[in-house]
Every structure is written in structure tokens, then in C-alpha cells.
A = this chain, B = another copy of it.
Amino acid sequence: MSAKKPVPDSARRSERSRRAIYDAALALVGEIGYPRTTIEGIAARAGVGKQTIYRWWGSKAEVLMEAFLDLNEQNQQAASAHHPDVPLNPVSLPDTGDLEADLKLVLRATVDELKDPRFDAPARALAAEGVANQEFAETFVARLLMPGLDLYAARLRAAQEAGDVRADVDPLIARDLFSAPLAQRWLQLTGPLDHAYADRLVEYALYGISARPKKQE
């Protein structure tokens, strides 16, 4: 289809319904919680028939995941409009040549996002569904978690090439030192989640907590 072809009315109606369903799903999860959110409730709030939802999605978890991905995209577009230097779809973490500063920037921003109520409620609901439901977990991890983890691995590989990270370090393991502690404090409330925590994580992971230098191998 040509890009110049006018959008038919039915497509415009579909797009309006889709957005109303996303808004309804995010609002309900924030207001009454994920367990009490139902397809029927989302349909009623969005002003569509529930068959419209079932035609496009298989479960409330799938609706919420697409709504959440869409929310992220909207937010990136807004950030990009205000800061034209921010790429629309980040394909890499910042690389100023200062690995410690770059990682602290990213971890602090992640802390801010995890504590933002607009993100917290749906993201927590999706994580819970992923832990409880093996099949959904694969989708959740592939679409929501892994893209971020891959950015960490790529930044660590670049740091290896620059000589800032030891050549024998496996980036697919080392990235877990940054992402997993944030996720645990966020999901299981095992301690304060703030910028100071993000900074200490980066320092400990980069330089180690041992008072002794690593033994020569």
C-alpha cells in the first residue's frame, strides 16, 4: 500500500478504539489493581464491545503489555520532541568514554522510571504475570526485559574494546550486576531504591568490594 493512500474511516475508528483500550487498561490497573482488572472492565471503560478486545488480544495480560509498550513509545516521542538529540528508539546506552558516569546516568534514570506511578503499576502487574505464567514470561522477557539487558551487554562490550573492562569478563553475566539488584529492590522492596543505591551498585560492580586485588591467573 502507498503511504499517500488516505487512511480509510474504518482504520481511523480502529486506531481510536485501540488507543481507548490502552488508556482504559492502564487507568484501571492504576486505580483498582491488576487482579481486579478484567477484559469486560477495560471494554466498558473504553466504550467498545468486549468482542473488539478479544478479536485483537488473547488475554488482559496481552492488552496491558501492548498498552505499556505503547506508553513507553509515547514517552520516548515526547522526550525526543523536547530534546531533539535524544534518539527516538534508543539502540545503545550513552557512551561518553566514561563507563562509570554513563552507567550511573542510566541506572539513575531507571530508578526514576521504576518509581514513576504511571510506569510502576502496569510494569509490576506484567512482572507478576510473567513470574506466575511461564508462557507469558517468554513474551514478557523477550519484549520488555531483554531489549534493555542487551543494551547493557553492548555497552560493556564497547568498554572491553576500549580497554575499560577486562577482556575475560562475560558481558552477558556482568550486566546482571546492574539490572538485577534494581529489579529486586523494585519488585520485592528489600531496601531503598534511590540514586545513591544506583551509584553504589555501579562502583561495586566496576571496582569490586574486595580489599584485595584479584589474584593473578
Complex: how many Å from CA A140 to CA B131? Answer: 15
Chain B binder among A76-84, A110-118, A187-195: A187-195
In the complex, what residues of B have CB within 8 A of residue A156's CB?
209
The stretch from A8-16, A41-49, A88-96, A171-179 touching chain B is: A171-179
A139 to chain B, nearest CB (A): 12
Say whether A158 faces chain B, with CB atoms less than 8 Å apart: no
Are B163's CB and A176's CB within 8 A? no
Complex-state Cα separation, A127 to B137, whole angstroms: 14
Q: Would you mind naming 16 contact pairs between A and B with Cβ atoms under 8 Å apart?
A: A34-B132, A124-B132, A141-B189, A149-B190, A156-B209, A166-B211, A167-B211, A173-B204, A176-B180, A177-B201, A179-B184, A181-B181, A203-B214, A206-B210, A208-B214, A213-B213
CA distance in complex: A204, B173 (Å): 9
* Minimal Cβ-Cβ distance residue in B for A124: B131
User: Do A170 and B205 touch (CB < 8 A)?
Assistant: no
Contact of A170 among B129, B189, B200 (CB under 8 A): B200
A174, A185, A209, A214 pick with most chain B CB within 10 angstroms? A209
* Residue numbers in B under 8 Å from A146 (CB-CB): 190
Contact of A209 among B149, B183, B206, B210 (CB under 8 A): B206
Chain A, residues 125-143, CB within 8 Å of chain B (1/0): the string is: 1011111110001101100
